[in-house]
Structure 1
Amino acid sequence: MSSDRIRPPGDLALIESLINTLDVERGADGLAAPEGRAAFARATGVAELSEDEVPAAVRLRELLRAACAAHAGTPMAEAETSALNALLAGAPLRVRVGADGGAELVPSGDSLLARVAAALAAARADGTWERLKVCPADDCRWAFYDHSPAGRRRWCSMQVCGARAKMRAYRARRG
């Protein structure tokens, strides 16, 4: 889990928050219990998930985690890409035109899927989507926004996950 946390711009914070409802290091799933789902809803402004909606939300979360891991160099499996595309195809979205003539995709309602799809489309359009990444450490997998100038940050925290990886590599070289 990142100690040098900076929130992503716009609605990418929703996607980051959804991915980070699972704390791999602690084994805690924020969507598993009603109080965790209520806290997620309060923090993000989405409608609170019912017990029946949790499996689909968990599936969406893990497919988004795979997409963000691809931004850090771990390509998505073809099955993951297909599954995420199928989920997003069902998102209730509409196009809204502003007074300036500009157009944007907006969610129809406050469902998690609609909000995620709109956030993803907006982030892709403004060039920020690829900077939402997942830490490659197997015991972390935390989502973070890469604010580095070159956009090449790899670890959620260089002081924690990066240092651990460097120490493991050092030990492996030393035998």
Structure 2
Amino acid sequence: MIRTLPGHANCHHKHYGLSCATYEQMLQESGQRCEICGTAPQGNTSGKLFIDHENALGTWAVRGLLCHRCNSLNANRPGWNVTAPEGSDRYLANPWFHRRLAELGISADAPAEPPPGALVSDSLGRTWSYSRGSWHTKRSRIRGSAWADLVDQFGPIGLTITLPV
């Protein structure tokens, strides 16, 4: 994948289960500006837009791309006495992951752990299989509550389950 747009200097978006192509599409759809206030990436201290997600659902639940200020003010953490930026209501009412779920015709519910022998593909092109108590690929291994970790990162958008025949 050729990274063509500014702000795509590394593949940090993969932490959110976003492929390079999906991330570039999001950058294009946002006009490469904060989706709340319209600030260009160059107006940020880091020179990039931040990937905003719904913490309660997991990193897969990407709401959109925000400037540093809107991302911080929109965090809505308990005990913080901040006012959400103007335009937050509109932004939060139509997050990217809702639009993507509707486009795919799937529910936001976490997929149930598949039975032994199933293969699971993620949105980054890796295939996962279950053995010895954990889900793994040839290049990566997740231990512990492995299925929960996969669902947290990829959610229903980024996981495709192929059941054994």
**Normalising by structure 1, what TM-score?**
0.30
Higher helix content, 1 or 2: 1
**Normalising by structure 2, what TM-score?**
0.32
